[in-house]
């Protein structure tokens, strides 16, 4: 990722990564499923240092997150973030399934 002016841009990693699903878990935290099949916990708190993302501190704005063409957008598309940046600012997630019986 690089910043030019007040805008954060993702670097090009060659392969197109998309977000297939996301679920808000808590303030500034969501579970994200990527096109490569990985599920990760995205922590948006690191983004607050950039002026455009400062609005995400407002939980109403954060929970307005929607998927648009494999990209997370907020505030009716006024704020967006690349899948690569979401991936970089996320942590591995392992689903644990309990057996019954």
Residue 7 β-bridge partners: 4
The CATH number of 2-92, from 2.40.160.10, 3.30.2020.10, 3.10.580.10, 1.20.1260.10, is 3.30.2020.10
Question: How many of the other CB atoms lie within 10 Å of CB of 57?
Answer: 13
Domain definitions of the chain by residue range: 2-92
Sign of the dihedral through C-alpha 95, 72, 60, 90: positive
Instruction: List, for residues 67-86, the tens digit of each pLDDT value.
Output: 999 999 999 899 999 999 99
User: How many Å apart are CA 94 and CA 75, to the nearest integer?
Assistant: 30
Q: Contact 40/30 with Cβ under 8 angstroms?
A: no
| Region 26-40 average pLDDT | 95
Predicted structure pTM score = 0.77
């Amino acid at each position: 990722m690089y910043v030019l002016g007040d805008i954060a841009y993702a670097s090009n990693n060659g392969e197109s990564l998309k977000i297939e699903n996301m679920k808000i878990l808590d303030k500034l935290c969501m579970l994200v499923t990527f096109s490569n099949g990985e599920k990760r916990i995205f922590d948006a708190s690191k983004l607050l240092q950039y002026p455009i993302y400062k609005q995400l501190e407002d939980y109403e704005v954060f929970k307005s997150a929607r998927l648009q063409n494999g990209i997370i957008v907020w505030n009716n598309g006024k704020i967006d973030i690349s899948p690569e940046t979401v991936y970089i600012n996320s942590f591995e997630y392992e689903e644990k399934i309990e057996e019954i019986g």
